[in-house]
Amino acid sequence: MRRRDWLMANAALPLAARAAQNAGPGPTNLVVSSANGLKACAKAMEVLKAGGDTLDAVVAGVTLVEDDPNDTSVGYGGLPNEEGVVELDASVMHGPTRRAGSVAAVRNIKNVAKLAKLVMEQTDHIMLVGEGALRFARAWGFEETNLLTERARMAWIAWKQSLRDREGNNNWTDGLDSPAALQAAERLKKLFPSASDELIAWALDVAAHPPTGTINCLALNARGEISGVTTTSGLAWKIPGRVGDSPIIGAGLYVDQDVGAAGSTGRGEENIRIAGAHTIVELMRQGMTPREACLEALRRIARNFRNNTELLNRFDINFYALRRDGLYGAASLWDGRMRRGYWADSQFAVNDGSGESRLEKCAHLLERKRG
């Protein structure tokens, strides 16, 4: 059949028939996450194999990442807001009970995924923010910690020192009367003498390109139950109080036990504008595969910029989706990106219970120049 005829024939197929053509392998233990979730997927799979609940599984998985000081996009060690304070957002959804919980702009509490789960389980609300969320955490005995690691503080200082007024001055650098004008890297080295050159290069890079970063983790078990979590320190150098998509039910995360789950990482503002995770779940309900549904959500984001690739090139966004029948997929706005001289493909993590977690390539909407 010629491609055009095939497309026509397929378009004419009723939705239910199309869905049947794309059937997944059936309910099975399966965990999908953003690329920073290899360990999280493995941990979640361990919980699933022991017969644990799907939400317990993903929360146990992402807790490892929240505790990891080297992941600068989530929990402890996350990059701070413009005042140097780490503020975390998280959400959870439990398919079998169709419940949800979330917290936003939380300071000093490392494990906000667990906190979001407690909001779901122990309150009559869905979302707590800021001071109220902190007090709720205290009531439940969460330990308070300074979440700003030295590495994240160095990056924040690098960012403060990179800001200039119209005359090119900056109050956060050595003054005009300083005996020697230092380059940004030299200045940082002086302030953080034990930091390696590589770490300094990283700090200058994230200062210049405020990164996003998050973990989204979705799990299915052999009973066909499905749950998800998203947890993040959000956009680096954000205005205090800024809340991204991660704790917004329907944007950073959505689960419908009848259909499947979806989540997102990347520039949250664009995701909120299309209610991405909910959109993807609805598209899967109508028969799209997870991958097609993620790509369609990305098309809506591109449409919001009239497909202007110059503007779209200023950010990254990724969607992940897992259907109740075990079919999964992910798609990124861009095929990858250059960072500090290296090309990195857009990827996501999967653990199907057969061995270690693996990275798979995301589908993509647009291709970046690699030069």
Alpha-carbon gap, residue 271 to 278, rounded angstroms: 10
Window of 13-21, 200-208, 210-218, 346-354 that interacts with ligand ASP by CB under 6 A: 210-218
Q: Smallest distance from the beta carbon of 347 to ligand ASP, in angstroms? A: 14
Residue (207 or 327) nearer to ligand ASP, CB: 207
Name residue 302's amino acid. Answer: A
Residue 269 Cβ vs ligand ASP, minimum distance, rounded to whole Å: 7
Contact 77, 151 (CB under 8 A): yes
For position 213 contacting ligand ASP by CB under 6 A, the verdict is yes
42/354 Cα distance (integer angstroms): 11
Q: Please state the φ and ψ torsions of residue 28, each to the nearest 5 degrees.
A: -160, 160
Cα three-residue angle 251-256-260, rounded to 5 degrees: 90
The Cα 255–Cα 120 span in angstroms is: 14
- Exposure b/e, 75-86, CB count within 10 A at least 16 = b: bbbbbbbbebeb
Q: Is 208 helix (H, G, I), strand (E, B) or coil?
A: helix
Map residues 267-296 to x or -, x wherever contact with ligand ASP holds by CB under 6 A.
xx----------------------------
Residue of 82, 139, 143 whose CA lies nearest to 108: 143
Contact flag: residue 246 with ligand ASP (CB under 6 A): yes
Binding status of residue 347 toward ligand ASP by CB under 6 A: no
Tell me the window of 38-46, 111-119, 218-226, 260-268 that interacts with ligand ASP (CB under 6 A).
260-268
How many whole angstroms separate alpha carbon 284 and alpha carbon 322? 9
Distances (CA, A) of 86 to 57, 129, 153, 272, 295: 26, 14, 10, 21, 32
With CB under 6 A as the contact rule, the residue among 53, 245, 292, 325 that binds ligand ASP is 245
Span near ligand ASP by CB under 6 A; candidates 115-123, 180-188, 194-202, 209-217: 209-217
CB of 370 to ligand ASP, least distance (A): 22
In angstroms, give the least distance from the CB of 63 to ligand ASP: 18
Considering only residues 131-160, where is the footprint of ligand ASP by CB under 6 A?
A: none
Q: Work out which of 234, 260, 263, 326 binds ligand ASP, going by CB under 6 A.
A: 234
- Contacts with ligand ASP by CB under 6 A lie at 212-214, 232, 234-235, 244-246, 265-268
